[in-house]
Amino acid sequence: MSSEFLKSNRLNNLSYAIRGPVFEKAQQLESLGHKIINLNIGNPAPFGFDVPDEIMHDMIMNLRNAQGYTHHLGIFSARKAIMHYTQQIGIRNVAMEDVFIGNGVSELIVMCMQALLNSGDEVLVPSPDYPLWTTAISLSGGTPVHYICDEQSDWNPDIEDMRRKITSNTKAIVLINPNNPTGAVYERHILESIVELAAEHNLMVLSDEIYDKILYDGHKHIPIATLNDDVFFMTFGGLSKNYRAAGFRGGWVIPSGAKHRAKSFLEGLTLLASMRLCANAPTQYAIQTALGGYQSINDLVSPEGRLCRQRNMIYEKMTSIPGITCVKPKGALYLFPKIDLKLFDVQNDEQFVLDLLNEQRVFVVSGKGFNHHDEAHFRIVFLPNTDILEDAGNRIESFLNEYRHQEALVAK
């Protein structure tokens, strides 16, 4: 009998590249005194994006009220505010009792997958995706089936590819809009096509809309749950991005549409919410103020706003490098450039990001980390100030020039 305690088989072949082996290498380099330009994670606070003062104030003022467990679904004022928010954005027939508050959207994604899936059940997930979705599905006994998001079509979902991948085992479609890692924001006709597929095949739609206010160049976000009342939707949102409160771990999920067809699922989700007792209490007191107060994110994404300027700067820098192309992000906090592998001696994207870290001390994440199918992409977070982004861009350009094929250098 082995004396070694082994990890669960459920964890075999699962990964989370944003904090994976390259992250550990970056930590090791920092511990040795090297300064790393961290462009790997959408964490606003380290880059000077503070939580608005009124949100911080209300949370602090309510700390004495937050000493005990709360209701397992969340406190009254927070759920009421989320219900009112659904009315503002056009999601119909949501009651306060429908809303689940969690320790960030991440916890709620895992809980929803645990409540929904049996062994062998399938869930359609975008490729590229935010990798927590793929991992949570697998961890819950399900099978993630990745549908293509087409780079040649502004990273929009390939509806026919989605259709081909639906089977009798498919239970749900995951949508990430605005998208992480591509920055795509889906137009109405795309969303309507997805809703039609869901209605035709009796599928749940799980819509990750954590970046719904981070939009550039006048692009509009359409909550997919506003488009149909006969499909069952779970819409995810939270404080971490729009309100720069990633460490607060405040998220919510909103069931809507055909709730009568999801009674058993919601009973299971309620059980899981009860088992964790409650979401963290102090953060819940920030939700009403966040949703009802001044939306400072609008200043940051305006043409002169800091986020918009940083996006423009790194996009222009990356696309000025011969052999690098990129779809300009319409939303969120990320750039997803593509390397022309014919021009560079890059074997695969995972080795590329490790070599870039070792040689130039710039930490990005490989496209494979987002379950993308090729070896040519990587994700850049554009939260740092423009001077840091310019430095990072110059280092990436210098690194790529060293990897450029000799024949490409001669042609140049």
pLDDT at 402 (0 to 100): 86
**What is the Cα–Cα distance from 82 to 342, expressed in whole angstroms?**
49
Query: Over the stretch 66-92, which tens digit does the pLDDT of each residue have?
Result: 999 999 999 999 999 999 999 999 999
Shared domain check, 304 and 251: no
Q: How many CA atoms, within 13 angstroms, populate the side-chain half-sphere of residue 323?
A: 21
Asked if 332 and 251 sit in the same domain, the reply is no
Domain end: 292, 321, 351, which one? 292
User: Of 272, 292, 312, which residue constitutes the final position of a domain?
Assistant: 292
Alpha carbons 68 and 284: distance in angstroms, whole number? 12
User: Are 157 and 255 contained in the same domain?
Assistant: yes
Which among 176, 224, 237, 177 is positioned nearest to 197, based on CA atoms? 224
Predicted pLDDT at 18: 64
Pick from 253, 269, 292: which residue ends a domain?
A: 292
- Exposure class string for 227-245: b at 16+ Cβ within 10 A, else e: bbeebbbbbbbbbbbbbbb
Mean pLDDT taken over the chain: 92
- The token pair that represents 211 in the structure block: 């970046």
The answer on pLDDT for 216 being more than 80 is yes
> Do 325 and 371 share a structural domain?
yes
Based on the domain organization, do 260 and 313 belong to the same domain? no
DSSP β-bridge partners for residue 204 = 172
Whole-prediction pTM value?
0.92
Quick one: what percent of the chain has pLDDT higher than 90? 83
Question: Locate tokens 């380290």: which residue?
Answer: 46
- 339 and 277 in a single domain? The answer is no
* Main-chain dihedrals φ then ψ at residue 105, nearest 5 degrees: -65, -30
Look up the domain containing 118 and give its range: 53-292
pLDDT range class, residue 173, cuts 50, 70, 90: very high
Domain count, the chain: 2
CATH number of residue 24's parent domain: 3.90.1150.10
Tens digits of per-residue pLDDT, 291-308? 998 999 999 999 999 999
Co-location of 37 and 87 in the same domain? no
